[in-house]
Amino acid sequence: MGLILITPAAAEPIDVSEAKASPSLRVATATDDTDIGVLIATARDMAETITRRAFVTQTWEYVLDGFPTGGIVLPMPPLQSVTSIKYIDTDGTQQTLDALLYAVDTDSEPGLVVPAYGESWPSTRDEVNAVRVRFVAGYGDAADVPAAIKTWIKMRVGTLYDNPQALVVGQTVMNVPRDFIDGLLDGYRVISF
């Protein structure tokens, strides 16, 4: 079982100008714009890892050794759509499952793919990585990312920029307890898998 990033997000949840204008950073010059851009990517990666979510639209492939008994729970919510389901049939030939043979639940988090009513998953060859589900995940574009997540990213960028050592457990960041900052992500953490 594995998860492969196929197409990364085209943009970060915040841009350099937003980060520079935030109270946690307040940088007026362009001297460090490249470094700030890297810090934004680093903070976003940290937040996506903590929450186990995709923020800005991206394409992933979830790889399984076979079809499960029930549905396929897709990681990295929110799920936007399923692009394809490919599998190795019992003869060893890769097949693409017709989209009419499965249903996609984008309302649940994490998203779910189940056989369509009256259908069942096809048989696969007994080998590793026999099933590949390609899907699109994320809130949409940067404007669609929740404000609490953007605030967390801005605060982390400010901390990393001003004091990279301040991320040690138990320290205070910008006179704000670390628990408060990390609490901004609590409502977005994906618990089940």
Question: How does pLDDT run across 107-141, given as a tens digit for each residue?
Answer: 999 999 999 999 999 999 999 999 999 999 999 99
Q: Given this model, what pLDDT does residue 143 score?
A: 96
Question: Both tokens of residue 174?
Answer: 């910008």
The two counts, helices (H) then strands (E), for the chain are 4, 10
CB atoms near residue 187 (< 10 Å): 10
Amino acid letter, 68:
P
Q: How far is CA 166 from the centre of its chain?
A: 25
CB of 160 closer than 8 Å to CB of 39? yes
pTM recorded for the entire structure: 0.86
Mean pLDDT, range 95-106, rounded to an integer: 98
Question: Both tokens of residue 129?
Answer: 């990585």
Question: Both tokens of residue 50?
Answer: 């903590």
Residue whose pair of structure tokens reads 């003869």 in the numeric block: 91
| pLDDT per position as a tens digit, 21-30 | 888 777 778 8
Q: 98-105 — which CB contacts under 8 Å span 24+ positions?
A: 104/79, 105/71, 105/79
